[in-house]
Homo-oligomer: A and B are copies of this chain.
Amino acid sequence: MRKRINALAEQLLDTLEQKGYRSTEPRRAMAQVIANQDKHFTAEDLRKQLPSLGRATIFRSLKLLVETGMVCRVLLEDGDLHYQLSHRGHHHHLLCVECGSSQDLLGCDIEDLLQQTSARHGFELSGHWLEVYGRCNACRNVEQTVELANA
């Protein structure tokens, strides 16, 4: 009996199938769990939510999803590597160091700047990795509210 999964999870599987990968029960389960994640997560997080799957399977599927662009890797400020559902294509993240949320930066407007800087150094630009750390709107508002309450 095939478990019912939501539209987003369905889409992940469809994309895998289009790339020639089989639609298996473990992959269905992973797609569903990943689709339910509201923040970036680790392989270990998935494992806790999918105790019946083999550990290797989790790493393998995760890798597949990263390679096909559906999940992206997120470097936390402390060096930890997490994963999260990805918008396709090149983009960056605004990572809140307080609540751990992450916002996608879709347009990559540093490309031009890097191009210029590279040129100045005789360097042929081919790619870059950028992560941005700070505090998100929600966390800033909470602090403001607390300040007002104490005033």
Contact = CB atoms under 8 A, between A and B. Distances in A.
A64 interface: no
Identical subunits present: 2
A89 interface: no
Chain A contact patch, size range:
20 to 34
A146 interface: no
A127 B76 CA distance: 11
A58 interface: no
A110 B134 CA distance: 15
A75 interface: yes
A23 interface: no
A121 B137 contact: yes
5 contacts: A75-B129, A94-B121, A105-B117, A126-B135, A129-B129
